[in-house]
Amino acid sequence: MRAIHVKRAFKYRFYPTDAQVAELSRTFGCVRKVYNLALAARTQAWTLRQERVTYNATSAMLTAWKKTEELAYLNDVSSVPLQQTLRHLQTAFTNFFAKRARYPRFKSRKKSRRSAEYTTSGFRFRDGKLTLAKMAEPLDIVWSRPLPEGAQPSTVTVSQDSAGRWFVSMLVEDPAVQPLPANGRAVGVDAGLDHLLTLSTGEKITNPRYERRDRARLAKAQRELARKAKGDGANRAKARLKVANVHARIADRRRDNLYKITTRLVRENQTIVIEDLTVRNMVKNSALARAISDAAWSEFRSLLEYKAAWYGREVIAVDRWFPSSKLCSVCGSLHDKMPLHVRTWTCVCGTTHDRDVNAARNILAAGLAVSACGAGVRPQRSTPGGQSAVKQETPRVTAGIPVL
């Protein structure tokens, strides 16, 4: 089996000193300022002259900005994160012109993610200690797990979340990530709300509903924040932090659960067939939006796809129009209607189905049909638009993605 080289991000929490907080806060502000200036310049050039400004041109602009009296403070921080934010802006425009993303937006001081990325010239990593440019002391990192032996970070990203916690993410090459031995097992996965996932084997994975568990605590914190006037300074900041801490607790527990589930599915199965759900449209249903968001189906799929690519597994997505719930997995008869409140039903062939298990088995069968016949082969059923009922995902290994 051919070895692969995967760059993997290891994320740790750290506790900065007052001097480091001040330096990082300045860096975050300068990164945001440079990004917004470059975006404004590129937008203006296109609007007035239909001219595309390149990364090299914005880099030259940055040099000129540093020489002005108004923006001389940009010299006070490391130049590496400033150059990196220009590269990120170039990537954003590349994705926009390739129609993979919308037009880049300006960064907001209050709402945008506070982060700065350093390449090898902007940090020193020796003897397990990480020191960033413009800092005299190394970061006080909580090493919750070791880096791969002999690993040297290629990039380091420092960030602060809305709850005020500080994190450092180190991108290293991990030789431990190698394709797993093929086992020939396949499983269909039906996503739901009563149960987070139902497998074609009949197993049902409980939906923890983390947001619902902490809903009372979240509501109390939000009421306290709402009572604080917007000009209330420190008191409003403390109330906002309480709300952010509840949200962080919910997100952390949800993410941890999804990591464990996806790792297990990838290790146990060679082929995993899922539904191609359009979550952005589904959350428009006001009655189900909160529950759907709490289930985090999109995050589940993202985690599953990159782990499958790492370990040599296959992920197949069944088209959203495939009638998995209304189709009998035994005789193949299709029922006209299947309301959501119907959880079990009996087919004309006499088989009594659990709605979710039956759907998972149909999803698996549809996915295996394409996997066996090859890409481009039309399965038995097609969508109303005449397109294939299943589509095969293209595996990809992405740098900087979350760890297992």
Rounded Cα gap, residues 56 and 121, in angstroms = 19
* pLDDT band with cut points at 50, 70 and 90 for residue 4: low
CB-based contact 347:331 (threshold 8 Å): yes
Residue 101, φ and ψ in degrees, nearest 5: -155, 165
pLDDT at residue 387 greater than cutoff 50? no
Catalytic: 356? Answer: yes
pLDDT at residue 385 greater than cutoff 60? no
Of these residues, 275, 294, 305, 319, which one is catalytic? 275
Query: Looking at per-residue confidence, does 220 or 229 come out higher?
Result: 220
The per-residue pLDDT for range 25-67, each reduced to its tens digit, is: 999 999 999 999 999 999 999 899 888 899 999 999 999 999 9
pLDDT above 70 as % of the chain = 90
Of these residues, 117, 174, 190, 294, which one is catalytic? 190
The residue ranges of every structural domain in the chain are 6-174, 186-206+259-392
pLDDT for res 390: 44
CB-based contact 261:175 (threshold 8 Å): no
**Which tokens is 162 given?**
């809305």
- List of residues 6+ apart from 60 with CB closer than 8 A: none
**Which tokens is 305 given?**
């796809």
pLDDT at residue 386 greater than cutoff 50? no
- On average, the pLDDT of the chain sits at 87
Instruction: Find where tokens 């009563």 sit.
Output: 194
pLDDT for res 328: 86
Residue 300 burial (10 A CB sphere; 0-12, 13-18, 19+): buried
- Coil, helix or strand for 19? helix
pLDDT for res 330: 84
pLDDT for res 403: 34
pLDDT above 90 as % of the chain = 64
Catalytic: 336? Answer: no
Mean pLDDT along residues 124-128: 92
pLDDT for res 323: 84
- Coil, helix or strand for 214? coil
* pLDDT band with cut points at 50, 70 and 90 for residue 369: confident
Mean pLDDT along residues 187-197: 92
pLDDT for res 232: 67
pLDDT for res 86: 97
Catalytic: 174? Answer: no
- Coil, helix or strand for 315? strand
Rounded Cα gap, residues 289 and 295, in angstroms = 10
pLDDT for res 395: 37
pLDDT for res 3: 55
Rounded Cα gap, residues 179 and 331, in angstroms = 37
Query: Looking at per-residue confidence, does 332 or 374 come out higher?
Result: 332
Most distant CA pair in the chain, distance: 82
User: Residue type for 122, please?
Assistant: G
pLDDT at residue 383 greater than cutoff 50? no
Strand partners, 118: 156
